[in-house]
Amino acid sequence: MEARQQSDDAVHERLPNTFTRGLDALNVHYPGCEKDLAIARETVELGSKTKFLKAYRKLLGKQIAYEHYHAVSGSNDMNTFDLDYPGNETDKRELEHWFNDNPPNEKNVQIFLERIEGLENKNAVFLGDRSHRHIQALSKLTLSYPGCEEDVQEALEIHYSRPFSIFPDTLHSLTVKQDMYIGDRSHWRLTKLDDLDLTYPKWQNDTKQIENWHVHNEDNRRNAVIFHEVIEGLLEEEDVYLGWNLEQRDPEESTIRTQDYETVIRQEANEDIRTQDYETVIRQEAHEKKRRCGDSSSFDKYLYRIEKLEQKILKNKSRFKSRPKESKPDEDRREPKNEKYR
């Protein structure tokens, strides 16, 4: 129990004064910052470094979001961001809550700035200013396909919310839908898709999905790379199907090629097996010798003796081969005079 109490006391030990000084150095003045500061100071007293860092980053993020909002609106008071169209107060509050609820990273800041411009675009149209290039592009379209009126209204809403990132795709979609409705498939992506000679099962479903992707994605470099990769995928699937179909139509020829291929594979596999078996035998023999010899030094001596013995055997073999099998009598050899020694 005493150890557990000491452990609890250690957990709740106050963080060093450097953490408090870090909070004091923060210059935060967004609405509600006093409450967040109090929560951060409580984490210092509790001694939780993890909770402190989380509260500290929250303070810093909300202040950055607050400053970004005022940098865009040009005012220290959010209520003075002047818009005239009906419902603008609701849109401003919704945007303010969105940014406070999302981390102020680079992506979210860009989305926030884009949505601010969208509100200004909406206000300009309400005041009768239709000089924006997006409005001009929409007004030049001649649309007649079913549902075009709803699509134009949706494009306007996107112009009022995401004019940079989404509107180009929306405008492209309107144009392509009209072209396809009147039978115009001259766009290079549709031409390439129509030129494909596909036969594999359900290829129509794949081309329909690609057409749908084409409708909703504008023609730029990034999408061109994606489109070419998708086309290569279709061609690869067609190659696989043609190989299978050839086997069904000409099984004899396909069987010959398959047998030749399987023979090569089998030979390579057998060679691998023989090599693996040989290595296994050598490894087992070495392990058995090492077990009999004991320690590694004895095993090294054993290998040294074996090597020397093999060298000696080879040397004796070479000498044996160089000697004649039968010795010829020496003609110049003299017979011993003494009969005893003959």
- Render pLDDT for 180-194 as a digit per residue (tens, 0 to 9): 999 999 999 999 999
CA distance 107 to 164: 13
pLDDT of residue 181: 96
Average pLDDT over residues 291-295: 53
Q: Point out the domain boundary residue: 201, 232, 263.
A: 232
Which DSSP category does 295 fall into? Answer: S
Residue 270 lies in a domain: yes
Render pLDDT for 111-163 as a digit per residue (tens, 0 to 9).
888 998 999 999 999 999 999 999 999 999 999 999 999 999 999 999 999 99
Residue 72 confidence class, pLDDT cut points 50, 70, 90:
low
Render pLDDT for 2-20 as a digit per residue (tens, 0 to 9).
444 444 444 568 888 888 8
Residue 261 confidence class, pLDDT cut points 50, 70, 90:
very low
Q: Which helix (H) or strand (E) holds 32?
A: none
pLDDT of residue 93: 86
Residue 304 lies in a domain: yes
Average pLDDT over residues 168-186: 96
pLDDT of residue 241: 82
Of the candidates 47, 40, 96, 44, the one whose C-alpha atom is nearest the C-alpha of residue 70 is 96
Residues 191 and 224 in one domain: yes
Residue 274 lies in a domain: yes
Query: What is the residue range of 264's domain?
Result: 252-309
More confident residue, 80 or 165: 165
Residues 189 and 219 in one domain: yes
pLDDT of residue 57: 85
Residues 226 and 260 in one domain: no
Whether residue 46 contacts residue 12, with contact meaning beta carbons closer than 8 Å, is answered with yes
pLDDT at 330 over 50: no
Residue 209 lies in a domain: yes
pLDDT of residue 328: 45
Residue 336 confidence class, pLDDT cut points 50, 70, 90:
very low
Residue 332 lies in a domain: no
Residue 198 lies in a domain: yes
CA 211 to chain centroid, in Å, comes to 26
Q: What whole-number percentage of the chain has pLDDT above 70?
A: 62
Show the DSSP H helices in the chain as ranges: 2-11, 17-25, 33-46, 49-73, 88-101, 106-126, 133-140, 148-159, 167-181, 188-194, 203-216, 221-249, 251-293, 296-322
pLDDT of residue 306: 58
Token output for 84: 């005239």
Render pLDDT for 196-216 as a digit per residue (tens, 0 to 9).
999 888 899 999 999 999 999
Whether residue 187 contacts residue 227, with contact meaning beta carbons closer than 8 Å, is answered with no
pLDDT of residue 12: 66
Residue 82 lies in a domain: no
User: Which contacts qualify for 241-248: CB closer than 8 Å, 24 or more apart?
Assistant: 241/199, 241/200, 241/201, 242/199, 245/199
CA distance 267 to 79: 82
Residues 228 and 258 in one domain: no
Residue 180 lies in a domain: no
More confident residue, 336 or 98: 98
* Least confident among 53-57, 182-186, 226-230, 267-271: 267-271
Q: What whole-number percentage of the chain has pLDDT above 90?
A: 34
Residue whose token pair is 């909406």: 122
pLDDT of residue 82: 80
pLDDT of residue 216: 95
Domain count within the chain:
2
